[in-house]
Structure 1
């Protein structure tokens, strides 16, 4: 059966619709979320997790797609061909996604249709995660990335992602990010909330910077958390196929399957740099001082040590 999403006439109509109906955000329990997500809140909140689900939770642009590919390959024992079965946004449902008017299922509908074991993802702060995940004691992998690189990456992502509002100028976005007035809320609240929850539930708290610096030992740690004992050969396969350059050229991972009126990769690649320390190319000296002051206020005494360079 022909995929309706690829029908040229339908694509043109959708592009026109998105042009005339820019995305709106809504504040929900103190967190800015897409209005479309808020419209199906009951469906999301009542989502039924299964005991063998694996949930990947992140603040946006903290390595979500990277972790999806790592976990998928671990669970498939390094079977690269099977990992290429579908684009990442199809094989790993995004719980809070409500893609209307796109002819796609919501994240909840897509997840409900999957056979177990399911791999799912969310950008929710810990307080907004559907209660059934805690009731079923689901394994959750949280990936945290230093705030400065997250800010830069998120700015470019919002420029190319037509499903989110235009981020405005760099200066405007810098201030909005520090104030937590960006989609999915405050980076500070997000990471500290998940950090405090990690010892009460089955949560593996992983750092983006560790994945960059020691990918194989981190992949081994993730596999152990998931109850998988990988051979050295499989470990090498998982590592190779989740390197930045390989993923950037992988049409199942680089979001090139999405039309340009959804992700306009002529503005910025979805997979842009994947580095630690790129913030130095964007932060002004004065901005760095302001950021460090705010960071100290909000993160002092929390006990999380982020690295902003390697």
Structure 2
């Protein structure tokens, strides 16, 4: 695969971004959500889920990219119209957070998220150069990442979930532990009543091995991603961070985490 220049990270209203995600900014901020829309938000590489009931994709995989692709989103014929984004909550158009719009946020623990993001930047030449693991981890802790700080991201969306009833906050660790339970919770939130057969079909389709083989979810057709360096779908396990963090890095990370995660109600699990 021919090498191509990598983008540079820059500060965009206090959040790390790259040019590709800010060129369409006026259209993003003026985007008009509809009452039947479902917005799915995550921090990059926080884990994704592909739950489909009767051709309704809930909550993840659609045929368009980030919220920046507003022109394409406007043309989506599906009902509900599903929109996904990695934007921090303060960047999301106000119409996407109104009371008539359903919002699903998926979060993953910081350590596993950091490991996954590191390997994603290694293999994706459309992202900034990550450097080695030690360099990347320090940048992650300092929030010098595309789409900003993990801490700000998960906390910002959590605060909205505490205020608005149209927000549903999910944890990747819960999905791995008991997918069926989380499907039931999500269906209840979205007002869906799938049959037992539909639930079983969904559970089978969202296993990591099946998603890794699915071209809709493994990104194998993207020429910016060199999957010989690292596959887009790596392992999908909770606790993979233990194979990357040194004892000293883990201690430093834990201390930094205590300083930045002030909300005692937002708790993550690092193993299940």
Scaled by the length of structure 1, what TM-score is found? Answer: 0.82
CA separation in 2, counterparts of 1:75 and 1:127?
Answer: 33
1:283-302 matched pairs, under 5 angstroms: 283-302=245-264
Gaps in structure 2 of 5+ consecutive residues: none
| 2:239 pairs with 1:277 | yes
Contact 2:114 2:140 in 1 (8 A): yes
The alignment yields a C-alpha RMSD, in angstroms, of 1.8
Q: 1:34 Cα shift? A: 1.5
Distance 2:64 2:23 in 1: 22
Show the 5 A alignment for 1:33-52.
33-52=17-36
> Based on CA coordinates, which of the two structures has the bigger radius of gyration?
1
Paired residue for 2:47, among 63, 74, 81? 63
Show CA shifts across 1:92-141 (max 9, x none).
44213xxxxxxxxxx11110111232111001111111111124631011
Report 1:18-33 matches (<5 A). 19=4, 21-33=5-17
In structure 2, what is the Cα distance between the partners aligned to 1:226 and 1:75? Answer: 14
Matched-pair contact (CA < 8 Å) for 1:92–1:119: no
In 2, distance between residues paired with 1:168 and 1:77?
40
SS of residue paired to 1:143: strand
From 151, 154, 171, give the equivalent of 1:188: 151
The answer to whether the 8 A contact 2:39-2:103 is kept is yes
Structure 2 partner of 1:121: 84
Deviation at 1:293, TM superposition (A): 0.4
The aligned residue for residue 303 of structure 1 is 265
| Alignment partners' CA distance in 2, 1:26 and 1:77 | 37
Map 1:1-310 onto structure 2 (within 5 A): 19=4, 21-64=5-48, 66=49, 69-70=50-51, 73-74=52-53, 76=55, 88=61, 91-96=63-68, 107-115=69-77, 116-135=79-98, 137-201=100-164, 202-259=166-223, 262-310=224-272
1:165-211 deviation digits (Å, cap 9, x = unpaired): 11001110010000000111110111111111103221100000000
Aligned residues: 268
The question of whether the paired residues in 2 share the 8 Å contact of 1:195 and 1:205 is answered with yes
Structure 1 outlier segments of 4+, above 4 Å: none
Distance in 1 between residues matched to 2:65 and 2:95, nearest whole Å:
16
2: CA distance between counterparts of 1:199 and 1:301? 12
